[in-house]
Structure 1
């Protein structure tokens, strides 16, 4: 077995905290939602029992209304801010009060298929949890029935400080009721992390929603940040396709019809966000009513969940090639050279293995196997050269952020081993 696969497995063992995996020690000492879904897919390649356990531990934090929070605080740690006392969510297990991209059902289908016959009984409670979460997305985050789901906090995108949020986030005050005591910059160079003013705005939003008692309708009414987001919506659609597949597999015909209706609505809504002049899809700022035109990776993620007309798929691939030209590692999360481009700062430029994994699947789906292979090779080479870093500087190839990172290990297994 390749030495890097052995090291990837070792990282997952090192980051195991008893049936759930932390993204990396100290910097992220709890269970994160979409991280765990990617990690479960990594485990599915060689240990389906542990893959199931990852997802089971995550849904221990699911709320009664169906939301799966972005962080589950299974045990205390003082190395991360904001902790449970800032979120004030009043749940049996402490959790954050917001969510994250719904990769869960994508992972569940992969784990179920890897487990083979006899796995239905263990899969069904996870399927039910996924269905409840999808219903939550459409009721809490698309109350007007547009087919696009909205985020009320940049952290829900997973792309926390992306240039995509610069305009919408600038309207959020930097005042907070909560002292902002950052811990992240004690673990990682501050030049690789969001700025202090970003954090003040992030915490202002947390304070606002905590004051609503985390009630979805009250939050929707009071939200100073509300973006119908293309990356999250595209992931929701792919997860919806996988959930519909599982519903049919389990003979849940009524569920399957309900999920299919969600998927149809969302498919049409995403297609309406295509902007030929930009050669990518766009999000919509629901407060200003305007397109979010910032050039980020989010505009390409619909490749994952749509069977696009050839001219659209070709335009997306050509635009991605233009962004990647001359870079050591593809794919940058911000278009190189624009005002918001910072190749080492978190989601303002670096290449992330999990984003590449989604894009590679999108290329394959849309008839571009050569682009998929090129991006796969670029990602694998970066990890083999620099190790399992949180993300990579696309210009120099340097591994940045947290090291010994769980989802980078899981992505490597899928890209190098399958």
Structure 2
């Protein structure tokens, strides 16, 4: 790792990668399906939205063209209304459930079929980094993608915050990217699952069922898929009537960061109309985000918008507030102290849920395990708030988990053992990119107008 750290900001050839870095690259190449990458060959055989964007960072270390292809293929599946779906079914594959027939989006998504929901919009943040590697070489490719990002970000406010509250909602736990977070337990409990019927989950044919969401969770997931399909994924109907409608800090923080990065790129590339729209959206989101602060819990938490109830526990998404932009110094200090305490309770951080909470489960998907890409985002935000030692602890923890348990989907914070899928793309990508860019900072000086101002304000 030290050799690559010294080569920060340098483009490497595949032949120059050795050891863990070469294995990470080989996983990306092995999961490459020609322009898009699957997260894990057996468990997730299609293109997933935020997986794909983050995978581009790993490719960028040794193949910039392939990195750009990844985000271009993702955004090519954008719906006419601006949404970029969370799954793109590029080919028929019966091993995954729910597939295109359950989503019922053929008339909307056209070709290829997709799911009916989105995922956290990390693409703008990734594209800014790809552009920063060589602005002259990639200016034209970035310029073609900015209008797509602009439309997607606008879709979030139009479809998921139609009342102008300043926080975007999710209508399905999968939309957050963190499927079985304990935050969803109470909002999901109000959903009628009597009409779901029988189905066969294929994920537990591949992965130990103790590492996956429970069957009761899946009944609620499928009830929400049915709700969306029955209304033909009409965003107005969903906003008014979907029984699951919550705002959570992870999604909102990633969108706020994405808007900042879009403003940087649009300003640099002379797309002033996009910069102006993104600036207006960001002002609304920055103000609205404060609704997620809970003085009782001492951090940013999920808000059930149907019942105006805050969640009672912190999650790994809570720390993404510092990834989103400047946090009030007193709050940032408090959050760093709480995170330090969390890390003292486990062998490896950052657990996806409070390790002292009664609902913590160290190996069941998002109810406790450590995820490499969330760690990278948390560490980036910590560095931008001056918490460099804490950020480095998280980086070292992440690599120690990979060294111990290989490139698994996620890791137990107590024992370090891996869980979920094997040879996982975004784990490999984060390991490779973090080794090449150990400082985790996103941007070179000429792309950091808003980033620099944010750091100075903190």
TM-score where L is the length of structure 2: 0.89
Q: Map 1:67-216; keep pairs closer than 5 Å.
A: 67-90=83-106, 91-92=109-110, 93-177=112-196, 179-216=198-235
Give CA deviations for 1:329-388 in whole Å, capped at 9, x if unaligned: 100011113221110000000000011001000101111001001111111111112100
Q: What residue is the counterpart of 1:411 in the other structure?
A: 430
Determine if the alignment matches structure 1 residue 55 to structure 2 residue 78.
no
**In 1, Cα distance between equivalents of 2:102 and 2:398:** 36
Please give the secondary structure, in 1, of the residue aligned with 2:303: strand
Among candidates 27, 43, 47, match of residue 31 of structure 1: 47
Higher deviation after alignment, 265-274 or 13-22: 265-274
**Which shifted more, 149-158 or 176-185?**
176-185
CA contact (8 A) 1:380 1:416 kept: no
Describe the superposition over 1:303-344 as per-residue Cα deviations: whole angstroms up to 9, x where unpaired: 101212221111101111111214221000111132211100
| CA deviation vs aligned residue, 1:204-249 (integer Å, no higher than 9, x gap) | 0000110101110011122010001211010000000000111101
Cross-structure match for 1:14? 30
After TM superposition, give the deviation of residue 177 of structure 1 in Å: 4.3
Tell me which residue corresponds to 2:355: 336
| 1:302 CA displacement | 0.5
RMSD: 1.2
Q: 1:281 aligns with which of 297, 300, 313?
A: 300
How many Å separate the matches in 1 of 2:37 and 2:275?
A: 31
- Which residue of structure 1 aligns with residue 3 of structure 2? none
Structure 1 position 296, deviation (Å): 1.5
Deviation at 1:162, TM superposition (A): 0.4
Instruction: Say whether the 8 Å CA contact 1:44–1:51 is kept in structure 2.
Output: yes
Please state whether the residue corresponding to 1:150 is helix, strand or coil: coil
For the residues of structure 1 that align with 2:308 and 2:233, how far apart are their CA atoms?
Answer: 25
**Corresponding residue of 1:40:** 56
How far apart in 2 are the matches of 1:272 and 1:222? 22
1:275 deviates by 2.5
Query: Pairwise mapping of residues 380-399 of structure 1 onto structure 2 (< 5 A)?
Result: 380-399=399-418
Q: Distance in 1 between matches of 2:72 and 2:273?
A: 25
- Alignment coverage as a number of residue pairs: 418
| Correspondence 1:321 to 2:337 | no
Q: Which runs of 5+ in 1 are unaligned?
A: none
Deviation at 1:167, TM superposition (A): 0.6
Picking from 300, 308, 318, the partner of 1:299 is 318
Q: Distance in 2 between matches of 1:290 and 1:52?
A: 41
Rounded Cα–Cα distance in structure 2 between residues aligned with 1:149 and 1:195: 27
Aligned-pair distance for 1:86? 0.3
Structure 2 stretches of 5 or more lacking a match?
1-16, 438-458
What SS does structure 2 have at the residue aligned with 1:325? helix
CA drift of 1:178 comes to 5.5
Q: Alignment partner for residue 393 of structure 2, among 374, 377, 395?
A: 374
